[in-house]
Amino acid sequence: MEFKNSPPMPEGANPRIEVQEMQAYKAPLEGRRNSLRLDFNENTIGPSPRVVEALQKVPANHISIYPEYNGLREAVITNLHSKGISIPLNPMQIGLFNGVDAAINAIFHAYGDRGNQLMTTTPTFGYYTPCAHMQGMKVHAIPYEGLNFTFPIKKLTTHLLEQQPKLLVICNPNNPTGTRLQAQKILDFATMSPETLVVVDELYEAFTGDSVLPKADFDKTPNLVVLQSLSKTAGLAGLRIGFAIGNKWTIDTINRVTGPYDVNSFAVTAARAALQDQAYIDGYIKEVLRARKWIITQLTKSGLRHHVDGGNYLLIWPNGNSSQVEASLRLSGILVRDMGEKPLLKGALRVSIGTTDQMKQFWTVFSKIDLSQDD
């Protein structure tokens, strides 16, 4: 259920003033199942068959027992090592969360005090700001630069040194602009502002690289936290499982503000199976990159303004009004996100990249709706 406007507050037990004043993160998540879903950057083909098999084998009595997490942290480390990330990690450096959303929420709870500053970029993922407001934090969002949404490195460095914010959250690659920042720059931020917790949201790094993990030394930079998830690559968005990786003291601190069983048993079973089938994830990523190449060719031929960089999504500025084009696509069973409300992205649609066949389906319908129109 989604309330368009919040219902009026009844007399009596009042929530905190920050909560009264904040806007919740809202996304159009209902009624999507029968459409081609290019709106949330999820995996578009489903998880590995091994995940489905593992879930089907869960005995009924496991449903009535609280979840057990043994082995999952180790599986995350084994998986990272299998991908060539050779830094030493022990299980206490891996935090398990009910999706990266829950990790973000916990980080703000653990670190964000009233009046503290969140420094981030704009436009970026929409959940950081409500989390900051929930804590009564101030938000300082530095805009991406130019038509290619270049990372505002100089400005951010200056402001970071001057203001030493409590939290710096960088989405790398950035959702929705795809902007990529070299890992070294992130490490530099963590070194130059040791009082700041530097959070790198790497939800999409698997598609185009740039993870900070291969270079991270969490003893030297205990103020660095890396977020990764199985939602977008492995197809587990519905089960909710995400990881925070960092110094063991920092991860322990963030975990203090979560419930003891926030990650459910099905997510644990599915995550173990998914992490053991990296070949499936690699195959999906390869297909997305092939589809990306295909759609870029069509967009270039069409002459439409578009922007593609990191991640499994791209931006298109249709000839028509973006919210009308989004609505027409929806009527034809294709979901994309209108970015009209986001700073710097007026008139743009964000389109997730699925398989080549799915992008062909999108392009056929999109061309009929938009490419016959005049400017």
Ligand X SMILES: Cc1ncc(COP(=O)(O)O)c(C=O)c1O
Helices 265-275 and 278-302: crossing angle, nearest 10°?
80
Q: Measured from the CB atom, is 125 or 189 closer to ligand X?
A: 125
Place of tokens 């439409």: 304
Place of tokens 């092939």: 290
Name which of residues 75 to 104 contact ligand X (CB under 6 A).
99-101
Pairing state of beta strands 224-229 and 242-246? Answer: antiparallel
CB of 242 to ligand X, least distance (A): 4
Q: What is the rounded distance in angstroms from the CA atom of residue 177 to the CA atom of residue 45?
A: 24
Q: Measured from the CB atom, is 313 or 370 closer to ligand X?
A: 313
Name which of residues 35 to 54 contact ligand X (CB under 6 A).
40-41
Q: Which of 105, 231, 247, 352 binds ligand X (CB under 6 A)?
A: 231
Complete DSSP assignment for 277-322: -HHHHHHHHHHHHHHHHHHHHHHHHHT-EEE--SSSEEEEE-SS-H
Site string for ligand X, 100-129 (x = CB under 6 A): xx-----------------------x----
Nearest to 349 by CA among 307, 289, 300, 301: 307
Place of tokens 């159009």: 28
312 is a site residue for ligand X (CB under 6 A): no
Please report how many Cα atoms fall inside a 13 Å half-sphere around the Cα of residue 260, on the Cβ side: 3
Q: Measured from the CB atom, is 166 or 232 closer to ligand X?
A: 232
Q: Which of 39, 201, 205, 326 binds ligand X (CB under 6 A)?
A: 201
The token pair at 331 is: 């009527």
Name which of residues 257 to 286 contact ligand X (CB under 6 A).
none
Q: Measured from the CB atom, is 22 or 200 closer to ligand X?
A: 200
352 is a site residue for ligand X (CB under 6 A): no
235 is a site residue for ligand X (CB under 6 A): no
Q: Measured from the CB atom, is 175 or 179 closer to ligand X?
A: 175
Q: Is 165 helix (H, G, I), strand (E, B) or coil?
A: coil
CB of 177 to ligand X, least distance (A): 11
CB of 100 to ligand X, least distance (A): 3
Place of tokens 């530099």: 188
CB of 209 to ligand X, least distance (A): 16
Nearest-5° Cα angle at 71, 68 to 77? 135
216 is a site residue for ligand X (CB under 6 A): no
CB of 101 to ligand X, least distance (A): 4
Q: What is the rounded distance in angstroms from the CA atom of residue 122 to the CA atom of residue 366?
A: 28
Report CA torsion sign: 316, 317, 321, 323. positive
Complete DSSP assignment for 126-151: TTHHHHHHHTT-EEEEEEPBTTTTB-
310 is a site residue for ligand X (CB under 6 A): no
Site string for ligand X, 236-255 (x = CB under 6 A): -x----x-------------
Name which of residues 162 to 181 contact ligand X (CB under 6 A).
171, 175
Q: Measured from the CB atom, is 232 or 292 closer to ligand X?
A: 232
Q: Which residues bind ligand X (CB under 6 A)?
A: 40-41, 99-101, 125, 171, 175, 201, 203, 229, 231, 237, 242
